[in-house]
Amino acid sequence: MWVEEGAAAGASVTGGESDAPSRADRHPVPIYVTCNQHFSSSQRHLMGLSCSESQQLRQSVRLTMLRVRAWRAVSPLLRGHRAARRPARSHTSAARLDLRGIYPPIATPFTAQEDVDYKKLEENLQKYAKIPFKGLVVQGSNGEYPFLTEEERVEVVRAVRRSLPADKLLMAGSGCESTGATVRLTEKMAAAGANAVLVVTPCFYKGKMDSRALIQHFTKVADSSPVPVVLYSVPANTGLELPLDAVMQLSQHPNILGLKDSGGDVRKHSDSIFSLSHFILVLLSANTRSELDDNDMNESYNQITRIGLIVHKTKTQDFQVLAGSAGFLMAAYCVAFYGLISLHSKNQLAWKLLEKGAVGGVCALANVLGRELCELERLCASGRWEEARVLQQRLIEPNAAVTRKLGVPALKQAMEWFGFHGGACRSPLQPLTEAETQQLRRDFSSNGWLEGNKQRNERERKIMFKLQGCKH
């Protein structure tokens, strides 16, 4: 039962929404289940199921089949209604931009006098041009934007645009504390060459930043922005997570393209996510949630992450979600929702991907291990989960070191080790202590990332060969 793929030739969707097949461009999990499937003890062990759980799975399949038949009857009637009520997008629609891929939120190099060092910035950009990034995020948290003047923020974006190839996206951070200031800076970023703007949640008065306030803020910014807007939730820095109900409402705005979500690290679920049999159960539970009442839900549904919920809740919109950390990039791609399909050549059902998870990532670690993050993205996009799992596990500790543990000073130090210009941060951020530097080195060395130049060059050559082969 583990050798059939849901995307087999001749398969057609008979469950889920009528427009779901157009979203199924990833490899499905290799499993099919017949209506009257009886699982042997060895099969139950492989899937991680007890006897009672296997009976529940069979019951879920039977009930879903009944609902599939009902869907066949009513879907032609609903198809026109759904198309009519779906919001239309303008000619300047955010849907014109495809965010799929990896973006480093680039650091801002400074001189000894703490002025922006545009020469070193240019040298970093030349090195990044050799890595298959989808684009760059400029003036995000790792760019130390709170410490730059408005003029500096705009000038850095302008300098990056001059150097960046035309086919690479430039996403510029334009968030400010007030709505009016954000509107004005957004217009300046667009004029400086940004393809989209990344707008962080205002947070100084975070106790009053409820859904009503945030929806009004982002709506006014998106209404006036000349370029698409990407929402930015980073509770580690702001102490404020963009509420799910606000995301759902804002996703309907024609000029809001998506969300960069840096909250909800799934490390506590890593054992389940990295276990294939348990992962399948999570997907089955996710599918049945749309079909059954909450009281009938399997407990494993609770393992679906915030990103998965956002993808599911905004599935009728052209809304793209970017993982905000390399620490849960694979999990963000994994989280998906599956539906039953019928194999015409066999009297069987299969599960096929109907809704994908995140479309990419904005990852601080990409400033240091950019090729490796692009390789992880390629493995996930092609459904090579075991290889992706091995690579993802090696990235978790270095990512934690340059983000939640030691922050921007550690990121800049690691950049120096890997041949980029990091340098010192602008005050009041302080450089790492000796003990912190040693800890940072251990986090990279223990996972095999700090090595001799010859070994690293050979590893990068192999990665680039794989990435270039994928394009051809």
Q: Which residues are catalytic?
A: 260
Q: What is the token pair recorded at 97?
A: 């931009």
Contact between 269 and 303 under an 8 Å Cβ cutoff? The reply is yes
> Do 415 and 367 touch, CB atoms closer than 8 A?
yes
Spatial separation of the C-alpha atoms in residues 371 and 134, rounded to whole Å: 12
In angstroms, the CA 316 to CA 113 distance is: 51
C-alpha 395/C-alpha 329 separation (Å) is 10
DSSP 110: B
Residue 13: both structure tokens together:
């969707």
Query: Which phi and psi (to 5°) does residue 28 adopt?
Result: -75, 160
Q: How far apart are CA 414 and CA 423, in angstroms?
A: 10
CA–CA separation, 42 and 44 (whole Å): 5
Any idea what the Cα angle at residue 423 is, between residues 202 and 419, rounded to 5°?
115
Cα dist from 288 to 33, 139, 199, 296, whole Å: 14, 41, 35, 9
| CA-wise closest residue to 303 among 326, 286, 318, 321 | 286
Q: Using omega within 30 degrees of 0 as the cis cutoff, is the peptide bond preceding 109 cis?
A: no
The DSSP letter of residue 133 is -
User: What gap in Å lies between CA 8 and CA 61, rounded to an integer?
Assistant: 20
**β-pair type (348-355, 196-200):** unpaired
Amino acid identity for residue 147 in this structure: F
DSSP codes of every residue in 392-443: HHHHHHHHHIIIIITHHHHHHHHHHHTTS---PPPTTS-PPPHHHHHHHHHH
Cα 97 to Cα 169: distance, rounded to the nearest angstrom: 9
Distances (CA, A) of 397 to 29, 411, 422, 435, 452: 28, 13, 20, 17, 20
Do 327 and 403 contact (CB within 8 A), yes or no? yes
